[in-house]
Amino acid sequence: MSEIALEARNLYKVFGKNPNTAVRRLKAGESRAAVADAGTAAVIDASFTVNRGEIFVIMGLSGSGKSTIIRMLNGLHDVTDGTVTVNGDPITGIPSSKLRDIRRDRISMVFQHFALLPHRSVAANVAYPLELKGVPKAERLAKAEEILSLVGLEGQGEKLPSELSGGMQQRVGIARALAADSDILLMDEAFSALDPLIRREMQEQLLELQQKLQKTIVFITHDLNEAMFLGDRIAVMRDGRIVQIGTPEDILMDPANDYVEQFVQDVDRARVLTAANVMERPRPVVPHTAGPRTALRQMRDAYMSATYVVGRDRQLVGVVTDRDAVKLVRNGATTLDSIIKPVLQSVREDDVLMNLFVPAVESPVPLAVTDADGRLVGVIPRVTLLAALGPGPGSTEEITLPLMPMPQAEIDAVLDDGWTADPADAPTTEEVR
């Protein structure tokens, strides 16, 4: 089996009088508005592949053609031009009986408004795809019960859909799609009709389920935060065209055009960007084997008051401060061992920024970032963390260092001079009196 579960190549969908003429003119380079007399172009030249086991999110505002695209993936809408292949088999231009077989066995769908059958019980709704497959009643109801417990609805099978809350109804919708036992799941704005708290919960549950089941999911949404949270890859659509396809980080850090950039302005970056996206090269880093003089020199050159110490393979060992190192040098010690303190706060590469704020506040030095094996891969100073929350791709590159205070001795010298007096015993106050 190939890695590609679903492929759409040069999809066009035009509603209206002369769809084929419209497609020909669009291909010749005319704009969507210019061909409006021949028909409404809902999808224009959309190509993408969905890999097995990934969540592919198609995101766009209403009217951008995302719902039309997802309906072309299972043939609910005929394509006007282009091809869709499922596991290498084309589903465009095949007889409707064959298309029905593919829908029954390979692709299932979850709908925005749940689309449950109101006159059937929850269990019968979940068993519906199995009923269409011709599974005997006892068997399909047993399977339905099993899947209901998978989505957290055990014991609710006898109820009618109308007796459940919105979130629970959509769980039934998901359970129904899972009951079909297909590899590919199409989710059309599946959580858009739910209120925000429930939506968040459902998103998390979907990711949990996905970890267990490893389906191939195509998820439609107009909510960029949802897209960023769920998507392994995201396709951003505008006016029927796909304007960018990439990972959430790609889209956030490197928007393809002004439209995407505007769009991602509103994203909660703290929930999308990870430590790895914003971290800087750790500097200075002292090897465990180095002596206090080396450490001190490096700290001085980097204007830092402390430095991380790494062992072999860049394993993070601890942190030393310049004060301790100065003492060691005075004492004539040759190893750092006695002054290495454990690193109290370190974060993993894939932690989202949201989870970095508290550690960053509590850490006296720039926050250490480690990989899965505990190797130091970067550091995040607090300024970097703040800058990463702002819009624009360049915001994490240049950092203005906070203004350094003047050396204390210099200030003291000025104060001791006759120019101004210490306010505590200033003669001016006596004169006034």
Partner 1 sequence: MDGFRIPIGSWIESGVDWIKQNLDGLLDVISFVVTFLVDGLTSLLLLPYFFVVIAIAALIAWLVRSWQLAIGTIISFTLIVAMGLWVPAMQTLALVLVAAVIAVLIAVPLGIWSARNATVRAVLKPVLDFMQTMPAFVYLIPAIVFFSIGVVPGLVATVIFALPPGVRLTELGIRGVDSETVEAGQAFGAKPGQILRGIQLPLAMPTILAGINQVIMLALSMAVIAGMAGADGLGKMVVEAISTVNIAKGVEAGLGVVLIAVFLDRVTAALGTLGQNPASLLAVIRRRGAQRQASAASASAPSTQAPVEEKELQNA
Binding site for partner 1 (CB under 8 A): 71, 74, 76, 100-105, 107-109, 111-113, 115-119, 128-129, 132-133, 158-160, 162-163, 176, 180, 186
State the minimum distance, in angstroms, from the CB of residue 15 to partner 1.
Answer: 15
State the minimum distance, in angstroms, from the CB of residue 1 to partner 1.
Answer: 22
416: Cα within 13 Å, side-chain hemisphere: 6
Task: Rounding to the nearest 10 degrees, give the CA dihedral for residues 111, 114, 115, 116.
Answer: 140
Nearest to 298 by CA among 324, 331, 317, 322: 322
Distances (CA, A) of 109 to 76, 148, 302: 11, 17, 57
State the minimum distance, in angstroms, from the CB of residue 26 to partner 1.
Answer: 26
State the minimum distance, in angstroms, from the CB of residue 77 to partner 1.
Answer: 10
Considering the complex, state which of residue 30 and residue 131 has its C-beta at the smaller distance from partner 1.
Answer: 131
Distance CA 108, CA 146 (A): 18
Considering the complex, state which of residue 109 and residue 317 has its C-beta at the smaller distance from partner 1.
Answer: 109
State the minimum distance, in angstroms, from the CB of residue 160 to partner 1.
Answer: 6
Phi, psi angles (nearest 5°) of residue 280: -115, 165
Distance CA 263, CA 251 (A): 10
Considering the complex, state which of residue 180 and residue 309 has its C-beta at the smaller distance from partner 1.
Answer: 180
Q: What is the DSSP letter of 220?
A: E
Considering the complex, state which of residue 159 and residue 288 has its C-beta at the smaller distance from partner 1.
Answer: 159
Q: What is the DSSP letter of 364?
A: S
Task: Work out the number of other CB atoms within 10 angstroms of the CB of residue 259.
Answer: 14
Considering the complex, state which of residue 119 and residue 341 has its C-beta at the smaller distance from partner 1.
Answer: 119
Considering the complex, state which of residue 100 and residue 293 has its C-beta at the smaller distance from partner 1.
Answer: 100
Considering the complex, state which of residue 160 and residue 354 has its C-beta at the smaller distance from partner 1.
Answer: 160
State the minimum distance, in angstroms, from the CB of residue 172 to partner 1.
Answer: 12
State the minimum distance, in angstroms, from the CB of residue 238 to partner 1.
Answer: 25
State the minimum distance, in angstroms, from the CB of residue 175 to partner 1.
Answer: 13
Nearest to 252 by CA among 231, 238, 283, 281: 231
Distance CA 95, CA 325 (A): 79
State the minimum distance, in angstroms, from the CB of residue 125 to partner 1.
Answer: 9
Distance CA 246, CA 232 (A): 8
Considering the complex, state which of residue 92 and residue 294 has its C-beta at the smaller distance from partner 1.
Answer: 92
Considering the complex, state which of residue 70 and residue 369 has its C-beta at the smaller distance from partner 1.
Answer: 70
Beta bridge mates, 49: 7
> Under the phi-then-psi rule, with left for phi > 0, alpha for psi from -120 to 50, and beta for the rest, what region is 202?
alpha
Distance CA 138, CA 223 (A): 40
Q: Is the dihedral of CA 316, 299, 283, 274 positive or negative?
A: positive
Distance CA 311, CA 268 (A): 37
